[in-house]
Amino acid sequence: MPAFLERSPPSRWHALNPLTKLIFATVTALVGLIVGGLIGPLILVTVAVLLPASVAGVLSRLVRTSVLVSLPIAISTLLINVFFFPGGQDVLLRLGPVVATREGVSFALEILARILTISGAITLFYLTTRPSELVLDLESRGVSPRVAFVAHASVQTVPAMLERASNIVAAQRARGLDTEGSLVRRIRGLLPVVAPVVLGSIVEVEERTLALEARGFTRPGRRALLWFPADSARQRAARWLLVSAVPAAALAAAYGLLAWLP
Amino acid sequence: MACSPGSHETCTDTVLSLRGVSYRYAGATDPAIRDVDLTLQDGELLGIVGASEAGKTTLCLVAAGLAPRTIRGSLSGTVHLDGEDAASLQMHELAARIGICFQRPWTQLSGVCETVFEEVAFGPMNLGVPRQETLARTDEALTALAITDVASRDPARLSGGQMQLVAIAGLLAMEPAHLVLDEPTAQLDPAGTRLVADALARLAANGASILIAEQRTDLLAALCSRIIVLQAGRVIRDGPTVEVLTDPELPRQGVPETSAGRLRRLATEAGIATELLDQALD
C-alpha cells in the first residue's frame, strides 16, 4: 500500500481510534450535563478537554474555536439568567425594570460551564479526527457504506458550497458586481449569487449521483477497504469504561453523592 | 474477433445493441434521441459525432443503462448488453460490465476521497474487489494514464484536465469489458488528449469495446473503426470512419472537419494538387 495512505498522526491523541475519541467526547458532554454546579464541569473541562487538547497540540485552536462557537448562546444564556432568573433575592444591579441577582449570576455561570464543556468536547473531537477516518472506522464495524458515505459527504458539503459561492462571487465581481460597502449594499450585491450557488449544487448532485451509480456504489454488501484506523483491546476496554461513566454519574447525582461540588 | 483501431475490419459478437431506441427526459415534449439503432461489436471502437444537443450524451447514458434508471424519463425500444436485456440487470452489475465517463470531471469525483489513489480505488472497492487486487488495479490505472505523480494529492485540488484523467483512471481500475465515453477529452490539453487516446487504443487492442462521443474528429479518425453521426436525436450516418469523416456534408451537420480533411479542402480550393498531400497525410 502506498506510504502516504498510512498517515502518521501528529500526536498520541490523534492516533486514538476515532470511535474512542467520539465516545470520549460524548461521555464528557453528557457527564458535564449531569454533574451539577460550577466546579464539577470546570474540573471536567480541565481534565477531559484542555489536558487532551494540550497533548494533541491543539489547545489554542480549541479555545479559540470553542469560545467563538459558544459565544452567541453563552451571551443569550447569561443575559436571560442574570436579569430574568425567577425567585432571585440578592440584587446586584438594577437597570430600570430588570434586576441582576446573585442567584441569576450563579445559575448563568453553571449553564455557561456546561456549554463550554459540551462545545469543548465536540471541538476537541473535531480538531483531532479526520472525517474520513471516522467514516472508514464505522464502515469497518459494519455500518452500511451508503450511510457512511452520506455522513461523510454531508460534512464535506458546507466547505464545498462555500468554495463554490466564493468562486461565483469572484466571477461576478470581475463583471462589476458590488459586494462592498454598507450592509444593505453588500446584501443587495450577494443576493444574485444565492440562486446560482443553490441551483448549481442541485445540478451537481444529479451528475454526481450518475457517477456514483456508474462506479457500482449501489452494490449491496460490504466493501474491501484499503485501510481503516487501528484499534486495540485496551481502547475497547476504555470505551466500555467511559460509557459506564454516564449511568454512574447519573446515579451519583440522583443519590446526592455529588452535592459536595459547589 | 477484435477490430484494430482505425481499421475497417468486420467485427463479430455484438456486445451492445440498441434497437428502435427513443428516450424522452421527464418534462420534455420531444425525445432527445429517436429510433436509434446501434450495435457495438466485441473489441470495436465506435465513434459518435454530432452537433451540440444532437443527443450524444443521452445516447451515452442510455447505452450505459443510466437512463432511464437513474434519470427520470421514458425509454422505448430495447437495449441489450452481452445478449442480456439491460433493464434486467442491477445497476452495480451494469457498472461492472460497462463503464461510463462524463464530460465534467469534478462531478465524477466521489467527494469523499482524500487522495487520488483512494479516488481511483473507489470503484473497485464498491464492486467488492479484494484489497490486494484493488491496489494492483489502481497502480496499473494510474500508470496507464501517467498520473502516478499526483497519486497522493487531493483530487478536488487538481486542474480540470488532471481530474478527467483521474476519472478515467477510476473507470479503468474497475476493468469493465465495455466503455462509454462522453467527450472524455473536453477538458484536456493536447498532451492529456494523447494520453487518453493511447490508453484507449491499448484497451481496444486488449479487446475492450468502446463507444466514444467526441467533437475532436481527429481523435476519432485515429481510434475508431466506425462512426455514427447524430442529428436532432436521429442516426443519419453509420459507416466506416474514412467514409463518414470525409463526407463534405459533415460540417453542415455541425460536425467539425478532421485536420486532414480541412487541409485537403483548402488545398483543393487553392488549386493545389492533393496527391502529394495525400501521400504525406497517409
Task: Check CB contact of A160 with chain B, cutoff 8 Å.
Answer: yes
Q: Is residue A36 part of a domain?
A: yes
Core vs surface per residue A5-15: b (16+ CB within 10 A) or e: beeeeeeebbe
pLDDT in tens, B145-194: 889 999 999 998 888 888 888 998 999 899 998 999 999 888 888 888 88
Confidence band for B197, pLDDT divided at 50, 70 and 90: confident
Average confidence (pLDDT) over A193-208: 78
**What's the half-sphere exposure (Cβ side, CA atoms, 13 Å) at B223?**
31
Q: Which residue has the higher pLDDT, A121 or B272?
A: A121
Mean per-residue pLDDT over chain A, rounded: 86
**What is the pLDDT, as a whole number, of residue A30?**
94
The answer to whether residue A79 sits within a structural domain is: yes
A208 reaches B (C-beta below 8 A): yes
Secondary structure, 3-state, B188-256: CCHHHHHHHHHHHHHHHHCCCEEEEECCCHHHHHHHCCEEEEEECCEEEEEEEHHHHHCCCCHHHHCCC
Find all residues with CB under 8 Å of B78, minimum gap 6, and list them: B17, B18, B19, B20, B21, B85
Which grid coordinates are listed for B147? 498520473
| Distance from the A158 Cα atom to the nearest Cα atom in chain B, whole angstroms | 12
Q: What is the pTM of this model?
A: 0.80
> CA A52 to CA A74: how far, in whole Å?
24
H/E run at residue A44: helix A39-45
Task: With beta carbons under 8 A apart, name residues in chain A contacting B103.
Answer: none
On whether both A191 and A216 belong to a single domain, the answer is: yes
One domain for residues A111 and A150: no
At A12 the pLDDT is 93
* Number of domains comprising chain A: 2
Residues of A in contact with B102 (CB under 8 A): 207, 210-211
Instruction: Test A218 with B96 for CB contact under 8 angstroms.
Output: no
Q: Are residues A115 and A177 in the same domain?
A: no
Contact A207 B104 (CB under 8 A): yes
Domains along the sequence of chain B with CATH: 14-245 (3.40.50.300), 250-282 (no CATH)
Q: How far apart are alpha carbons B29 and A176 in whole angstroms?
A: 38
Least confident of A57-71, A187-201, B84-98: A187-201
Q: Which residue has the cell 459494519?
A: A142
Instruction: Round to whole Å and give the CA distance between B126 and B145.
Output: 22
- Establish if A182 belongs to a structural domain: yes
Pair A26, A105 in one domain: yes
- Considering only CB atoms, A209 lies closest to which of B70, B122, B151, namely B70
Would you say residue A7 lies in a domain? no
For chain A, what's the residue count? 262
Q: Which residues of B touch A211 (CB under 8 A)?
A: 102, 107-110, 167
The answer to whether residues A122 and A150 belong to one domain is no
**Mind listing the pLDDT tens digit for each residue in A170-179?**
887 788 777 6
**Are A97 and A138 part of one and the same domain?**
no
Residue B68: cis peptide before it, omega within 30 degrees of 0:
yes
- Exposure of B250 by Cβ count < 10 A (0-12 exposed, 13-18 middle, 19+ buried)? buried
pLDDT, tens digit, 9 for 90 and up, residues B42-99: 889 999 999 989 999 999 999 999 989 888 899 999 999 999 999 999 988 998 999 9
Domain annotation covers residue A9:
no
User: Is A3 within a domain?
Assistant: no
C-alpha torsion sign, points B27, B31, B36, B39: negative
The pairing of strands B226-231 and B234-240 is antiparallel
Residue A168 lies in a domain: yes
- Degrees to nearest 5, angle at CA A30 with A25 and A36: 130
Complex confidence, ipTM: 0.81
- The confidence score (pLDDT) of residue A156 equals 73
Residue contact B129–A213, C-beta within 8 A: no
On the CB side of A256, CA atoms within 13 Å amount to 0
* C-beta atoms of B131 and A226 within 8 A: yes
- The domain containing residue A63 runs over which residues? 16-129+230-262
Rounded Cα distance, A232 and A137, in Å: 13
> Looking at CA atoms only, how far is residue B139 from chain A in angstroms?
10
Is there a single domain that holds both residue A262 and residue A238?
yes
CA dihedral for A118, A119, A120, A124, sign (positive or negative): positive
Q: What is the pLDDT of residue B170?
A: 93
Domain shared by A48 and A122, yes or no: yes
pLDDT of residue A262: 64
Classify residue A5: in a domain, yes or no: no
Interface test mutation site (partner B, options A7, A144, A203, A213, max chain B beta carbons within 10 A): A213
B131 vs A210, A214, A224: nearest CB: A224
Cβ neighbours, 10 Å, residue B175: 18
Answer whether residue A162 shows pLDDT above 80.
Answer: no
* Residues A27 and A94 both lie in one domain: yes
No. of helices (H) and no. of strands (E), chain B = 10, 10
**Residues on chain B touching A140 (C-beta within 8 angstroms):** none
Cell of B262: 480541412
| Chain-centre distance for alpha carbon B44 | 12
- Enumerate residues 6+ apart whose C-beta is below 8 A from B253: B50, B51, B229, B231, B236
DSSP state of B109: S
A140 touches chain B (CB under 8 A): no
A125 lies in the same domain as A145: no
Q: What are the φ and ψ backbone dihedral angles of A49, each rounded to 5 degrees?
A: -125, -60
User: By CB neighbour count within 10 A (0-12 exposed, 13-18 middle, 19+ buried), where does B269 fall?
Assistant: exposed
Q: Which residues contact A20 (CB under 8 A, 6 or more apart)?
A: A231, A235, A238, A239
Which residues, at least 6 apart from A216, have a Cβ–Cβ distance to it below 8 Å?
B91, B92, B95, B96, B123, B126, B127, B174
Strands (E), chain A: 91-95, 98-101
With 0-12 CB in 10 A as exposed, 13-18 as middle and 19+ as buried, what is B198?
middle
User: According to the model, what pLDDT value does residue B10 have?
Assistant: 44
**Interchain CB distance below 8 Å, B112 and A211:** no
* Cα Dmax for chain A: 71
Same domain for A24 and A123, yes or no, is: yes
Q: Which residue has the cell 469495446?
A: B209
Quick one: A27 and A156 in the same domain?
A: no
| Beta bridge partner(s), residue B229 | B49, B237
At B35, is the pLDDT very low, low, confident or very high (cuts 50, 70, 90)?
very high
Nearest residue to A163 (alpha-carbon basis) of B154, B101, B122, B149: B154
Q: How far apart are CA B196 and CA B166, in angstroms?
A: 11
Give yes or no for a contact between B71 and A198, defined as CB atoms under 8 angstroms apart.
no
